[in-house]
Amino acid sequence: MPVPLDCSGAESQLSHTPLPVPVYFKEAECSFSIKKTRQPLSYTLPPRPHHKNTSTVSRIFSDRRLPPWSKLQPRSVSFHGLHKQKSLLHSHLYDASKRKLFFKQCFQKLSYLGRGSFGEVYKVRSHEDGQLYAVKRSVEPFRGEGDRQRKLTEVRKYEHVGHHPNCVSFVQAWEERGQLYIQTELCPGTLLQYCEEYGPLSEWQVQTFLWDMLQGLRHLHDRNLLHMDIKPANIFVSSTNVCKLGDFGLMLELDSGDLRDAQEGDPRYMAPELLRGEYTKAADVFSLGITILEIACNMELPNGGEGWQQLRQGYLPPEFTAGLSVELQKLLVAMLEPDHLFRPSVEMLLNSSLMQKTEKRRKLVLLAQSGFQQCVSMYKTVFRFMQWLWGALCSPTQWLLFWHPTVPVTPPHSPFLLPLENCN
């Protein structure tokens, strides 16, 4: 293309202006960043849009037969034995003649814990035993039998998990008026909330929490169960600082052999082989390794891009891991091995020298906590006995009446004595 000339015949000065060259800033090359101080996440959904009220289906089609799960009576949900979703829920506190829900009659709602795509969770106190629990209730009623069966699957998963000190315990589940209720043990918060409240954790705390989570994960893997969604938001911390695996909604059962409905969890914690459709126990080990890397280094995990790829290629940023011990770094490198065939199992990790030393310290702490709780319980028993004894000593008349009950006598000035007195 000819260069334009000006009026004097010389080349225009604009033709000598160099083309802009892109400049890459060093900040753009950094794929990892430290976590920023922020307010705790609420995990709430946006408010539902307003809609006009319409007549219910039962009013439009009065002769339509309603499904059995839409009846008013609460029905127990269980996949064990002969009680498979058939028995009515019974409680001496529940009055079927009232229109109040079983949930409202048998529990005291204390606070609202959160809400997700499946349901909303409440902190409650049971009127049966006075203990605190967490109850998750489905947000929307069942849209049909298929939706009902899909939601009830979580109950079966909880029952398959069973009881373990490092897994959130399942208590019971029931359905009432087309909604599912799941009652579990209550934990004060999640590991995500714990880290946001107390800041970066010490390495001793990280090692202790890692040992707790490996114990819970071994329990799942021994039953051929894959958690598939291990992350700080799904790890719960008890009042005694014991970590427990929870939220088993995406859990896979390898014994079923049907992985068509398998779903991946949070992409920040996802193992690379899941993108190829390979579901193995090693995927949970990778997710746990990413979780430990996050809480040990106070690192903001990338949601994608180059940093996401680097973590799945075995690269650990030295500017974050430099403060960790060599033993913990070796464990992280092994847990984040890109090839799942060479990734260590949970049993191998627990047999490592670091976890063996952590196990001894952890068991001593748990033993001390158990002894302290027993002392507190004994102190409360002795205190109640002393209160009763002091009350008995302060009122000896009641003490004597308690041990020597008197025969009822006719009180003075009784109308039954008046005729006898008049006779005299």
- As a residue count, the chain comes to 424
Do 359 and 212 form a contact (C-beta atoms < 8 A)?
no
d(CA 255, CA 41): 36
Residue 136 marked as a ligand binder: yes
User: Amino acid identity of 357?
Assistant: K
d(CA 88, CA 402): 44
Identify the three-state secondary structure at position 276.
helix
Exposed, middle or buried: residue 238 (CB in 10 Å: 0-12, 13-18, 19+)? middle
Q: Which two tokens stand for residue 320?
A: 């974050």
Do 253 and 236 form a contact (C-beta atoms < 8 A)?
no
> Cα 230–246–290 angle (5° rounding)?
15
Up-side HSE of residue 107: CA atoms within 13 Å toward CB?
20
229 in active site:
yes
d(CA 124, CA 109): 5
Helix (H) or strand (E) holding 217: helix 203-222
d(CA 231, CA 317): 20
Residue from 212, 229, 247, 284 carrying the catalytic annotation: 229
Binding residues for ATP, by number, are 136
Residues with a known catalytic role: 229
Show binding-site residues.
136
